[in-house]
Each structure stands twice: as C-alpha cells, then as structure tokens.
C-alpha cells in the first residue's frame, strides 16, 4: 500500500515539473519576443535551452517512473523507521475498516456426519435425537405450544467428541451448521467480537432452521468480575443479548462445548439460554469397544478386541482414534497387511506417553479407583462412572444440619471406602477432600452449627468407617460391577 502511495506522489511531482517548465518557457519566449531589440547576451538563449531540457527530463522521468521509484527505495532503504511504522499503521487501519464492513468468513457448512459415525454416545443420544426431531418436525411440537431450549451445553473432558457430536446433530437434521470457536470472538479492538456475534446470529436466523456451534465457549463465557477484559465482556454481553433475541420456535439452536462448566458465567446458564446440559464422560468399556469397532471398519486385524477395550481405560474417543492410526502406521512400517498385537502395543506406547499418568491405569490402580467410585455410589445412592470426578450432593436453598453432614459424607466416602477395603490410606482425589473441609469450615464460620471443623470431619470419618465396614460385601460387589462395566447404575445399587 505504501509503495502505491509513493508512486502516486512521484507521478504528481513529475507532472507538476513538466507543467511548470512549459509555463516558464512560454513566459520566456514572450519576454524574448517583446524585448528582442535589447538582448545583447546569450543568457536568454541559455534559459530557453535549460527549460527545454527540463521539459525533456520530465517526459523521460514520467516514462521511467518505475525504475526511478525502485532506485529511490534502494537508496533510502525503503524509508526511515518512522515511515515504516506509519505505513504499517495505515495498512492496519485499512484492514480494520474491512473488518468493520463485515467482510468476515462466517459461512454455514453442510455436515455429512450422522449418529452412525459416532460411537459410544448411547447415554446422550436420546436428548440429541429430540433436538434433531424438533428441527425436522417443528409443527409436531409447536402445535402443543412446546418450545425446545435455545441452548444446549455439551460438557466433558477433551477428546470425548463434543464437536463431532454437534456435527452429527446437524448432519442428522440436515440443516446448515455454523461453527465458531470461542477464541475466534476474542479480538484486540473493543467491539469487534460483539460485531462478529451479531453477524453470526443474523446469518443463522436468515438460513433457519440452523445450528450454531460455539466450541470452547469458556474463552468468552467465563465469570465476569472487576479484573476481566472489556472486549471479552462486551462480546459475552452481546452473546447473551442475541440468545434473548430469538424464541424457541425460531429454528435456530445454539450448541456450545466446554471442558469445565464451573467457570462459566451464571448468566449463560440461567433458564432461557444454556439451560440444557449434556454431560459426556470418557467412554466406558462397552463404549470403547463400539468406538474401536467403528475405527476398525473395513480394516483387517488379528487381536482380541475385548481385551483391548479392557486395557484402554481412560482413553477418550480421540485417543482411541490415534491409537488405531498409530497401529496402522506401524503395520505399514512392517510392510504387513494385517494389524497385529505388536502394532497395538507399539501404538499404545506412543499414545500413553502423551497422556496423564492418572488416566493410564494398571489393573491394580483400576481396582483402587473402582473401590473409590463404588463407595461414592453406595453412600450417595446414585449412578457413578469410573472416571466421574463429580460427586452428587444434596442441593437445597435452606440446607439442614443433617443435609450438610450428608454432603460431607459423600465427599469423604471414596477415600474412606478405599481405606476400609484396602486397609491402607491412598491419595486419590484431593478435590473431594478439599470440598469436604471447605464445607465443614463453612458450617463452623458461616452457619455457626459447630465449633471445630477438624473435629466435625473426624467424627464424620469415624461414622463412615463403621458404616462402610459393615457393608464391605456390598462395596466389593459394586467394585466388581465397576471393573466389568466401568459404570454403576441406580439399578446396581
């Protein structure tokens, strides 16, 4: 951009030079004509020759303008540092103007992924099929005055397939799919993120029925406070406004994904926005088997699939995909045509190297974790998965003393259960312990229901030891169910 500007300036200078020379030449000739009788020297003729040369030079420079421009740039090193920064600022200004004109790349895509391409989502498939049915048959619901939630929040650890599931919903419904990551709304200039949100929803409404998917929404949806970024807050406010601006019968459904729901702003989670949550956990043993079968479709293999599903505890669907891909690469390296156990073992080494140790479990570690989760399920009388880090607690606006103690029991149940069954203490989940001690301190400081938090914890721990010791047989039964299925349901309890 700066070179074009310099070229135009140089062009104008050459034209001005030529015009000035012509004017001066005319004046010179006119003076010569009027005063020819008094000229006694050659200075006038010298001036005429100089002006003619000036005109010739201007014409020559006009035709050789490109070479002169290159020569000047070379001599000046493309100008001073100040001019460089000035030109760069001008370029950025023009670029920003283009952004403000909404020349963005927000476009809808057609997803060719369906539920048959996604394995291991049997537990969440029912809720997702309801959304698909609403998009395909809205009159079926609208005639009864039913409005589906505007926003669906997919919650789960990385790699469980949240984006793939959203694409599958769009593919099943055969509607336009608008994909945006939360980070793409975070801009340097205040207001740009909000404009992008407005454009996204404007385009989605224009092509309704449609699905808007915002991946990693916590990039813009974190809880607000005094130390937050003004641009992120304005973007979040615009997102909240846009979600309030359309009804449940508009044909636009917003699906968002996050790894941690606890960091999201309460305004996002209130009724009328992301009021439906779909929790997607790491796949259990049956899910892993189905995922592996899907990835091994049309591939030749000679190994025990059931055993591989058992040995890949803690693997997400993305990790399983990588595992099979690495096994195929090892097979090609061996110049073979069949995936064998040695290919799987080589692939597991590569995949596990990049995974957290806490998720790559030996059979002994898995046994300990199963006891921990079985104890939580037995005390809380609720469904628990092997890698479920949450604890179901009693939620009450005005909790009683006994309800508060019950919640502490549920936080401590896993650790005490392992201690009772294994006859030894293990460090497993510090987060549950921290929650138990925090709640105990709250009972003492805020509710004034006890005098000492440590004494309260000790008394609850002793009661749990006694209770779980008398029910050790049930704990072991639930542990075996967890080892087999990697999930304990309400029916198992």
Residue 223: the pLDDT is 82
Residue with the larger pLDDT of the pair 46 and 403: 403
3-state helix, strand, coil in the chain (%, to 5): 60, 10, 30
Bridge partners of 278, per DSSP, are: 154
C-alpha 294/C-alpha 117 separation (Å) is: 8
| Alpha carbons 8 and 13: distance in angstroms, whole number | 9
Q: pLDDT (tens digit, 9 = 90+) per residue, 318-358? A: 889 999 999 999 999 989 999 999 999 888 877 765 544 44
Q: How far apart are CA 108 and CA 99, in angstroms?
A: 19
For the record, the structure tokens of 438 come out as 């925090």
What would the DSSP string read from start to end of 279-312?
Answer: E-PPP-HHHHHHHHHHHTTT--EES-HHHHHHHT
DSSP letter (8 states) at residue 491: T
Q: How buried is 385 (Cβ within 10 angstroms: 0-12 exposed, 13-18 middle, 19+ buried)?
A: buried
Distance set, CA 352 to CA 201, 336, 358 (Å): 41, 24, 11
Q: Taking the model in full, what pTM does it have?
A: 0.64
Using the predicted structure, report yes or no on whether residue 25 has a pLDDT greater than 80.
Answer: no
- Four-CA torsion 193, 195, 198, 200, nearest 10 degrees: -70
Among the residue ranges 134-148, 209-223, 280-294, the one predicted with the least confidence is 134-148
pLDDT of residue 269: 85
pLDDT in tens, 42-76: 555 666 676 667 667 666 666 666 666 666 555 54
Q: Give the integer Cα–Cα distance in Å for 32 and 94.
A: 53
Return the minimum-mean-pLDDT range out of 49-53, 105-109, 157-161, 483-487: 49-53
Return the C-alpha torsion angle 416, 417, 419, 423, nearest 10: 150
E strand segments, 5-132: none
What number of other Cβ atoms are within 10 A of residue 154's Cβ? 27
In DSSP notation, 350-396 reads HHHHTS-GGGS--HHHHHHHHHHHHHHHHHHTS-EETT---------
DSSP class of residue 224? Answer: P
Spacing of C-alpha 38 from chain mean position: 90
Contacts with 217 (C-beta within 8 Å, 6 or more apart), sequence order: 153, 182, 256, 257, 258, 264, 268
In the chain, the percentage of residues whose pLDDT exceeds 90 is 28
Paired sense of beta strands 487-488 and 384-385, if any = antiparallel
Predicted confidence (pLDDT) at residue 133 exceeds the cutoff of 50: yes
Average of per-residue pLDDT across 219-244: 77
- What does the pLDDT read at residue 190? 59
Q: Is residue 399 classed exposed, middle or buried when 0-12, 13-18 and 19+ CB atoms within 10 A define those classes?
A: middle
What average pLDDT score do residues 216-224 get? 84
Q: Tell me: the pLDDT tens digits for 253-284?
A: 899 999 888 888 888 888 778 878 888 888 88
Per-residue tokens: 433: 């312990």
- Position with higher pLDDT, 390 vs 446: 446
Q: Map residue 368 onto helix, strand or coil.
A: helix
């Amino acid at each position: 951009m700066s070179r074009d500007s310099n070229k135009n300036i140089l062009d104008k200078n050459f034209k001005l030079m030529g015009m000035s020379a012509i004017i001066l030449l005319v004046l010179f000739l006119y003076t010569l004509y009027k005063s020819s009788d008094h000229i006694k020297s050659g200075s006038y003729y010298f001036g005429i020759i100089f002006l003619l040369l000036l005109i010739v030079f201007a014409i020559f420079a006009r035709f050789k303008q490109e070479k002169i421009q290159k020569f000047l740039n070379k001599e000046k090193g493309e100008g001073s540092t100040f001019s460089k920064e000035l030109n760069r600022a001008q370029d950025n200004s023009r670029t920003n103007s283009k952004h403000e004109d909404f020349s963005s790349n927000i476009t809808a895509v057609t997803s060719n992924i369906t539920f048959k391409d996604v394995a291991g989502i049997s537990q969440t498939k029912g809720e997702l099929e309801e959304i698909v049915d609403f998009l395909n048959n809205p009159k079926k619901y609208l005639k009864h005055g039913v409005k589906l939630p505007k926003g669906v929040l997919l919650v789960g650890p990385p790699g469980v397939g949240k984006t793939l599931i959203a694409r599958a919903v769009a593919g099943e419904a055969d509607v336009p799919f608008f994909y945006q990551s939360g980070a793409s709304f975070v801009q340097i200039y205040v207001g740009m993120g909000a404009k992008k949100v407005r454009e996204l929803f404007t385009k989605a409404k224009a092509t309704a029925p449609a699905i808007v998917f915002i991946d990693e929404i916590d990039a813009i949806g974190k809880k607000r406070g005094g130390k937050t970024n003004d641009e992120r807050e304005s973007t979040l406010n615009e997102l909240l406004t846009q979600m309030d601006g359309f009804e449940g019968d508009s044909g636009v459904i917003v699906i968002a994904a996050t790894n941690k729901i606890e960091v999201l702003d309460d305004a996002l989670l209130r009724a009328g926005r992301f009021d439906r949550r779909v929790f997607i956990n790491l796949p259990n043993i049956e899910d892993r088997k189905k995922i592996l079968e899907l990835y091994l479709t049309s591939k030749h293999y000679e190994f025990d699939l059931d055993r591989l599903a058992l040995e890949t505890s803690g693997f997400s669907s993305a990790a399983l995909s990588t595992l099979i891909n690495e096994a195929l690469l090892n097979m090609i390296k061996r110049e073979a045509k069949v995936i064998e156990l040695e290919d799987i073992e080589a692939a597991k080494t590569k995949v596990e190297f990049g995974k957290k140790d806490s998720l790559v479990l030996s059979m002994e570690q898995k046994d300990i974790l199963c006891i921990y989760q079985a104890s939580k399920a037995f005390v809380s009388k609720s469904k628990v998965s092997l890698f479920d880090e949450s604890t179901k607690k009693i939620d009450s606006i005005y909790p009683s003393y006994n309800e508060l103690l019950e919640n502490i029991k549920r936080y401590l149940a896993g650790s005490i259960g392992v201690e009772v069954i294994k006859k030894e203490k293990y460090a497993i989940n510090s987060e549950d312990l921290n929650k138990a001690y925090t709640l105990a301190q709250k009972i003492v400081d805020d509710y004034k229901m006890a005098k000492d938090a440590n004494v309260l914890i000790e008394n609850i721990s002793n009661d749990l030891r006694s209770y779980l010791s008398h029910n050790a047989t049930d704990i072991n039964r639930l542990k075996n169910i967890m080892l087999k299925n990697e999930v304990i349901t309400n029916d198992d309890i």
